[in-house]
Chain A
Amino acid sequence: MSATSPNDIAISIRNITQRFGEEGAPDSVLALDDVSLDIRKGEFVCLLGPSGCGKSTILNIVGGLFRPTSGTTLVEGRSVEGTPHTDQIAFVFQESTLFPWYTVIENFRIAMKFRGMAASEWDDRAMKALKAVGMASFARHYPDQLSVGMRQRVNMARGICVETPILLMDEPFAALDEQTRMVLGEDLSQLLAATGKTIVFVTHSLAEAVFLSDRIAVMTARPGKIKTIIDVNEAHPRSPDFMLEPRFSELRNQCYALLRDEIRATMAAQRDPAGVEA
């Protein structure tokens, strides 16, 4: 992290603080407290932390869905001021963000229409992305006609089709069973190797974080800060064999040890919210 020039930085998060509600108000919540993080181009960074630690909040700020209370975010050198940089960033949320009233192909078209892309490109790009995830023959299906795993393939492809350099993924696999998660994780690792995209990935899953990341940013309980950054030195695309290596378990255990106290703190806060906020 130290020896990088500014040109290699895709996303630069500087001193972000996020408070929901007026400061001093009884329902005011400090979600993020002075978070800074630089993400290099082509890097896969996982934000790992207990529920409610502000992982998704970071992603939403980077994605321009809202403006932080204080601090700045630069995406490819340009500052994000609460408006999505749709030419550089695509979001992938859980599979249920596919619009159920549109077919698969219509979901792609609408995503590109919203971005103001030329209508002549829509179908070509959509089919290319669908082929990449092996879902080309389901273009005319409605999302409800597909299994959860298939829907998430389509949803990932919808994020890929716009060919932005940066992909923000907010717990995209949270609703999937473990096997499907693993398979899609492999797909994602291949995609990363093939396209050189920068990916920021929010997850609860330790195994997922270690398997996918170049770096894991382990966060504290609320108010969220970055506790430690763990490097995972393993080239993409990663094979499932990586999970069998002793190093994989070591990293996973290391993450767990770091998280355990934070999870206990979160649970204590849930039991007695007043005590922690005070």
Chain B
Amino acid sequence: MSTASSTLGSSGAATSRRAFHLRMILIVGIVAALEFYGRFVADATLFSPPSKIVQSFFTDIMGDARIVRALWICIVEIAVAYVLSIVFGVTTGLLVGATPFTRRAFFPVVIALYVIPQVSFLPLTILLFGLGPAAKIAFGFSHAIFPIIINVVSGMRTVRELHLNAARSMGASRLDTIRHVVLPHMVPSLFTGLRLGMTLNLLGVILAELYVSNSGVGFFTRLFAEDFNPGPLFALIGSLAIIAIAFNEIVRIAERRLTPGAHRKTIIKTAGKEKQ
């Protein structure tokens, strides 16, 4: 074990610091290249250098109450769609995964729905839910719910026979077993579902926003694009990217904090007596 880790790098901290430096060099390099391209090569009606985009973020985006409001609506849409998909996804997952029988009966339906490319239903969703936030929430929800259901079900399925037997040998009731064995076992898998769910939720909401919108982010991106005004266009898209990253971070932090037994840092390698 010690030989394996020493070939990877002298110490964990030093390695991660070097990786951080390399990452920064890459990012600065890309920004510099874009800056050069935007200033000296590109057509100013199609592309803006990063410096101008940042400037435009503070003037055109943050300075326009309608756009700030549109971004805020987008955040609310993402949050509402996500909460709904967690509530319904986890409940459905628990019901489908409850017994091998229910899993056999319903799981193929879930899988079939999951693999359908939902973009083809986007026009239908707009027809059903209108041009406002409802359609975006519905589209985010329908994207996010499936990975959540699937991972809850597979998390329940992979409970180890050994743990179930142990619980039974201690006289655990069915409810005890679910509460203390099945559910905690499922948590890492649940979070895999929640992470995938967030990715697809963002995709769904933003896709619906860009497809059609009367006052949301989609409306303004179209406006700027049609005006050949790349500065605020990229600034708006960048804002969406920042929102997406922020939501993903929230899920990642929740996963780190809430997974039972996740803070396992100090692994004891040798136990005096047995390794001599």
Instruction: Give the B-binding residues of A (Cβ under 8 A).
Output: 60, 63, 65, 84, 86, 89-91, 93-94, 96-97, 99-103, 110-111, 113-116, 141-147, 149-150, 177, 179-180, 183
Contacts and interface: CB of A to CB of B under 8 A. Distances in A.
B180 A110 contact: yes
A93 B164 CA distance: 12
A189 B163 CA distance: 26
A111 B169 CA distance: 9
Interface stretch (B13-21, B28-36, B53-61, B258-266): B258-266
B227 interface: no
Contacts of A93: 162, 165-166
Contacts of A116: 171
A89 B3 CA distance: 44
Contacts of A86: 169-171
A144 B172 contact: no
B167 interface: yes
A183 B260 contact: no
Contacts, number: 87
Given A110-B180, A115-B170, A149-B273, A102 B268 contact: no
B184 interface: yes
Given A145-B267, A146-B268, A97 B166 contact: yes
Nearest to A112: B170
A143 B268 CA distance: 10
A147 B271 contact: yes
B171 A149 contact: no
A101 B261 contact: yes
Interface residues of B, number: 30
B69 interface: no
Given A99-B163, A114-B170, 19 more contacts: A63-B169, A84-B168, A84-B170, A91-B165, A91-B166, A94-B162, A96-B160, A97-B162, A99-B180, A99-B184, A102-B260, A110-B180, A113-B176, A114-B167, A114-B176, A115-B170, A142-B261, A145-B267, A149-B271
6 contacts: A91-B166, A93-B165, A99-B166, A114-B170, A144-B261, A183-B273
A88 to B, nearest CB: 11
Interface of B: 160, 162-163, 165-173, 176, 180-181, 184-185, 187, 260-261, 264, 266-271, 273-274, 276
A264 to B, nearest CB: 29
A96 B273 contact: no
A85 to B, nearest CB: 9
Nearest to B180: A110
**Sorted from nearest, which 9 A-B pairs have the closest CB atoms?**
A86-B171, A101-B260, A101-B184, A91-B169, A114-B170, A180-B274, A114-B172, A97-B166, A149-B274
A228 B276 CA distance: 38
Nearest to A116: B171
A147 B269 CA distance: 6
Contacts of A60: 165
B164 to A, nearest CB: 10
B171 A65 contact: no
A182 to B, nearest CB: 9
Contact of A102 (B172, B173, B184, B273): B184
A149 B176 CA distance: 28
Nearest to B188: A101
A188 to B, nearest CB: 14
A94 B160 CA distance: 13
Contacts of B264: 142, 144-145
Contacts of A179: 274, 276
A102 B163 contact: no
B26 to A, nearest CB: 34
Point out which of A89, A99, A143, A183 has the most chain B C-beta atoms below 10 A from its C-beta: A99
Contact of B169 (A65, A102, A103): A65
B261 A102 contact: yes
A179 B274 CA distance: 6
B80 to A, nearest CB: 31
Given A65-B165, A84-B168, A114-B170, A100 B261 contact: yes
B170 A111 contact: yes
Contacts of B160: 96
A141 B266 CA distance: 9
A150 B271 contact: yes
